[in-house]
Amino acid sequence: MTARTPAAARLRADACPGALQTHAAADGALARVRVPGGLLTGGQLRALAAAARDLGDGALELTSRGNVQLRGLAGGAEAELGDRLAAVGLLPSASHERVRNVLASALTGWAGGHVDVRPWVRALDAGICADPALAALPGRYLATLDDGRGDVAGLGGDVGLLALSPAEVALTLAGTDSGWRAHPDDAVALALAATRAFLDERAAQGGTCWRLAELAGGPERVAGRITPSSSGRHRGHVPSPRCAEPLPSLLGGASGSPLVGTPVGTTRQDDGRTALAAVVPLGRLSAEQADLLARLADEVQLTPWRSVVVPGLAEHAVDDAAAALHRTGMVLDADSAWTRVTACAGRPGCAKSLADVRADAARAVADGTLPAGGARQHWAGCERRCGRPRGEVVDVVATGTGYRVGWS
């Protein structure tokens, strides 16, 4: 891993948008609503759908961190959006709203995994919001909570928890094994201690880095600063420090790609019911689709792969639910090209874009003319390649006179 020296650190604070601190895009203000673990209740989905209709462009954008964006907001809409989000529990802390980036394993608690990390999501989010000092985290800060299936541990978290068994959890820092271990009951306290240690080390190195990996010697120095027992939040169990046993390959290979991709289609849950996982083409979820999801389940999960998990379906309800999702354009076929194609906002939303990449990508899918033989690919309107998934992806980048296609 390449660590940056303090001299090479960021010269400005990150400008990640939030729900209240919006970004001025070419099509209006853009608000990013943090959804820890991607977990949304039906009521929260309905509130987001209504906000998209009333205040935005009628759709919700799913991000690679399982968050949601609203586009096309009129100037001054932030206050009403904030009120609506707060009313349904989507804005628990105005001061911490941009730093609540938490990825959780897809299907956790419903199917597979050593532990159910949903309680970790709630506890970590509450712990972050309860600590005034953690409001200083960069908006790029990311926590990954992996229940052992290895789907999010390799997705570039600054701090991560990875269940190794039902009784043991590893702490990861910038995607590497920190050596720290904890019981699942103590894992969130360890992650919070690591988060505070990241801020302490960041301050010691000048206080400008956005990511733990950008700190000189980041993982090692942050691991050395962790004092979980002094956090006051441990419940009597101090993790055994510096375990030398290497983690399995759950952190991904050299490419950083996870071993497990997005679930698509049906999954039999541990309780015998069924979960449906549907890809949302180009991550653009219409208000109507969001309302449909809210009717189908009390709680859904957004995944980092721009798909949605609809859990808890009784056997007799599965076919009708799948058909309803399919009718609205959501994809339940694991072989669909839509499972391999992502795109940035492009025109008209981004002033930097050299093309309407979403329209062009959708046309290529419909016509069967995707480049690179239809391999996993990311379409972008310029070289920044916003939203590019981690791992091996073909870049399809607008040049102004067409698209440049290539691996990078």
Mapping DSSP onto H, E and C, the string for the chain reads CCCCCHHHCCCCCCCCCCCCCCEEECCEEEEEECCHHHEEEHHHHHHHHHHHHHHCCCEEEECCCCCEEEEEECCCHHHHHHHHHHHCCCCCCCCCHHHCCEEECCCCCCCCCCCCCHHHHHHHHHHHHHCHHHHHCCCCCCEEEECCCCCCCCCCCCEEEEEEECCEEEEEECCEEEEEEECHHHHHHHHHHHHHHHHHHHHHCCCCCCCHHHCCCHHHHHHHHCCHHHHCCCCCCCCCCCCCCCCCHHHCCCCCCCCCCCCCEEEECCCCCEEEEEECHHHEEEHHHHHHHHHHCCEEEECCCCEEEEEEECHHHHHHHHHHHHHCCCECCCCCHHHCEEECCCCCCCCCCCCCHHHHHHHHHHHCCCCHHHCCEEEECCCCCCCCCCCCCEEEEECCCCEEEEEC
Q: Least distance in Å: CB of 393 to ligand SF4? A: 13
* Closer residue to ligand SF4 (CB): 290 or 344: 344
Beta-ladder partners of 244: none
The verdict on 282 binding ligand SF4 (CB under 6 A) reads: no
d(CA 335, CA 396): 21
Which residue in 260, 346, 358, 389 binds ligand SF4 (CB under 6 A)? Answer: 346
The verdict on 218 binding ligand SF4 (CB under 6 A) reads: no
The verdict on 39 binding ligand SF4 (CB under 6 A) reads: no
Q: Least distance in Å: CB of 356 to ligand SF4? A: 10
* Closer residue to ligand SF4 (CB): 95 or 399: 399
Q: Least distance in Å: CB of 358 to ligand SF4? A: 10
**CA neighbor of 228 nearest in space, from 191, 199, 177:** 191
Closest residue (Cβ) to ligand SF4? Answer: 381
The verdict on 289 binding ligand SF4 (CB under 6 A) reads: no
Distances (CA, A) of 278 to 14, 332, 407: 32, 5, 27
* Closer residue to ligand SF4 (CB): 255 or 399: 399
Contacting range for ligand SF4; rule: CB under 6 A; set: 168-176, 241-249, 334-342, 348-356:
348-356
d(CA 398, CA 240): 50
* Closer residue to ligand SF4 (CB): 233 or 385: 385
Contacting range for ligand SF4; rule: CB under 6 A; set: 115-123, 199-207, 343-351, 370-378:
343-351
The verdict on 350 binding ligand SF4 (CB under 6 A) reads: yes
Contacting range for ligand SF4; rule: CB under 6 A; set: 163-171, 263-271, 302-310, 340-348:
340-348
The verdict on 302 binding ligand SF4 (CB under 6 A) reads: no
Q: Least distance in Å: CB of 28 to ligand SF4? A: 15
**CA neighbor of 151 nearest in space, from 395, 385, 390:** 390
* Closer residue to ligand SF4 (CB): 40 or 345: 345
Residues touching ligand SF4, count (CB under 6 A) = 12
* Closer residue to ligand SF4 (CB): 281 or 381: 381
d(CA 221, CA 165): 27
- Residues within window 359-398 making contact with ligand SF4, judged by CB under 6 A: 380-382, 384-386
* Closer residue to ligand SF4 (CB): 45 or 397: 397
* Closer residue to ligand SF4 (CB): 223 or 350: 350
Which residue in 193, 276, 344, 394 binds ligand SF4 (CB under 6 A)? Answer: 344
Q: Least distance in Å: CB of 355 to ligand SF4? A: 8
**CA neighbor of 9 nearest in space, from 220, 218, 221, 215:** 215
* Closer residue to ligand SF4 (CB): 44 or 342: 342
Which residue in 103, 285, 331, 345 binds ligand SF4 (CB under 6 A)? Answer: 345
Q: Least distance in Å: CB of 386 to ligand SF4? A: 3
* Closer residue to ligand SF4 (CB): 69 or 339: 69
The verdict on 212 binding ligand SF4 (CB under 6 A) reads: no
* Closer residue to ligand SF4 (CB): 251 or 382: 382
Residues of this chain that bind ligand SF4 (CB under 6 A): 344-346, 350, 352-353, 380-382, 384-386
